[in-house]
Structure 1
Amino acid sequence: MQHCFTYGSLMCEDIMAAVCGARSRFVAASLDGYRRQPVCGQAYPGMVPAAEACVAGVLYLDLPASAWLRLDRFEGEEYERRQVVVQLPDGRTEIAWTYVFRPEYAVRLVDGEWDFERFLHTGKARFTAQYFGFDALEGDGPA
């Protein structure tokens, strides 16, 4: 069982549960040394290293092994899974996996900060319609 730090569409419990095929406990968390930016033409963000930045997100606790194959497939080739140390609101830290936007796709990132509240109000419906099949992701076979 391992933790997953999310910072975009997967901060929504319903989307995360559909992608993972299971529900998990979660807490607020933040990640220093990264920034979150919009991806051109998409409702979701990409996260990249940035020394003076911090990303607020959600830490899903103790994901089952079956969730990781589904998450890897969902995130696709634009992202790489990376282990990070996240900060919890009470000051504790946890080791977690997260998905970082690959440098070779950085040209697709738009300047500015991706806005979660805006996603909830204007992007979530479009996102879920566009990714309608994510709840049926299989752990093996082609993406």
Structure 2
Amino acid sequence: MNRTDTDPHAPTACFTYGSLMCEDIMAAVCGARADHRPATLRGHRRHAVVGVAYPGMVPNADHRVQGVLYLDLPDSAWPRLDAFEGEEYERRLVDVVADDGARIRAWTYVFRPRFAHRLAPADWDFAHFLREGKARFVSDYVGFDTLPAR
């Protein structure tokens, strides 16, 4: 599904909070590079997913998630992102706060409740991912740059 399938004025921004915070991974998945900046999503919490290097994010009023906001993604990026995220995630509209204080409407991927049993109680650590998980993640997901749209 493209972002404009139901609304031609839908946001072109995507808030990322896991492996897609890495510009090289995001560009490979989307098939395009996009301007990006740090941003925060309130009312959500990022958890480690058991047995894998990536996180899942769920609504939680008492938390906030630091991530990266990619701006002006082309329509062609959305089917690729949907395929990359797979059945465990649902694309939702959220309001994020950019590092300059601007509030921006964006899409993000929230972990579906039926998979909540896979979430660890611990928060996911991006610095740890960069140090110890990114290389394995990239090798495990070779070909994500050629994902077909679902």
Q: Give the TM-score, by structure 2 length.
A: 0.91
Amino acid at match of 1:64: P
CA deviation profile, 1:74-128 (whole Å, cap 9, x unmatched): 0000000000000012211000000000000000000111000000000000000
Partner in structure 1 of residue 86 of structure 2: 76
Alignment of 1:128-139 (within 5 A): 128-139=138-149
Q: How many residues align?
A: 140
Matched, 1:116 2:111: no
Indicate the structure with greater helix content.
Answer: 1
Counterpart CA distance in 2 for 1:116 and 1:38 is 10
Counterpart CA distance in 2 for 1:92 and 1:133 is 35
Partner in structure 2 of residue 36 of structure 1: 46
Q: CA RMSD in A?
A: 0.8
Counterpart CA distance in 1 for 2:33 and 2:46 is 25
Query: Which blocks of at least 5 consecutive residues in structure 2 are unaligned?
Result: 1-10
CA deviation profile, 1:59-84 (whole Å, cap 9, x unmatched): 00000000000000000000000000
Matched, 1:8 2:18: yes
Give me the identity figure in percent. Answer: 64
Report the CA distance between 1:138 and its aligned residue.
2.0
Counterpart CA distance in 1 for 2:23 and 2:103 is 21
Structure 1 residue matching 2:14: 3-state secondary structure: strand
